[in-house]
Amino acid sequence: MVIEKDYVGEGRYKKAAIAKGALVSLEEYDTNFPKRLFEELSVSYLQAYIKKCRDKGHSENTIGIRLREIRRIFNVAIRDKVIGQEMYPFSSGNEAGKVKIPKAELTKTDQYLTLENLKLLACSEFKNYVLERTKHLFLFSYYSRGMNWKDMALLTNSNFYRATVTDDNTHENKEVTIMRYKRSKTKGAFDIIVTPNIQRELDWFRENTPLYGDYVLPIIGLEVAPQKLDDYLMQVRKRFNASLKKIAEELEFPESQRNITIYSARHSFAMTLKNKDKSIEIISQALGHQSVETTKHYLAKFSTTKMAEETDIDLLT
Cα 221 to Cα 202, 203, 216, 231, distances in angstroms: 17, 18, 11, 14
pLDDT digits (tens, 9 = 90+) for 253-271: 988 788 899 988 988 888 8
> Is residue 273 within 8 Å of residue 282, measured between CB atoms?
yes
> Is residue 67 within 8 Å of residue 99, measured between CB atoms?
yes
- Rounded CA separation 176/305 (Å): 9
Check residue 293 and give its pLDDT: 45
CB-based contacts of 66, cutoff 8 Å, min separation 6: 21, 22, 25, 26, 53
Angle at 164 between CA 307 and CA 142, to 5 degrees: 30
CB-based contacts of 1, cutoff 8 Å, min separation 6: 76
Check residue 304 and give its pLDDT: 57
- Rounded CA separation 193/195 (Å): 6
Q: Annotate 152-174 with b (16+ C-beta within 10 A) or e (fewer).
A: bbbbeeebeeeeebeeeeeeeee
Instruction: Tell me the domain boundaries of the chain.
Output: 2-87, 108-311
Check residue 154 and give its pLDDT: 96
Rounded to a whole number of angstroms, the CA Rg of the chain reads 22
pLDDT tens for the chain, 317 residues long, are: 555 566 655 566 667 777 788 888 888 888 898 888 888 888 899 999 999 888 888 888 888 888 888 888 888 888 888 888 888 888 876 677 888 887 655 444 457 888 899 999 999 999 999 999 999 999 999 999 999 999 999 999 999 999 998 888 888 999 999 999 988 877 778 899 999 999 999 999 999 999 999 999 999 999 999 889 999 999 999 999 999 999 999 999 988 788 899 988 988 888 888 777 877 677 777 777 655 345 443 223 344 555 566 677 778 76
Q: Does domain 108-311 have CATH number 1.10.443?
A: yes
Check residue 310 and give its pLDDT: 61
pLDDT digits (tens, 9 = 90+) for 121-145: 999 999 999 999 999 999 999 999 9
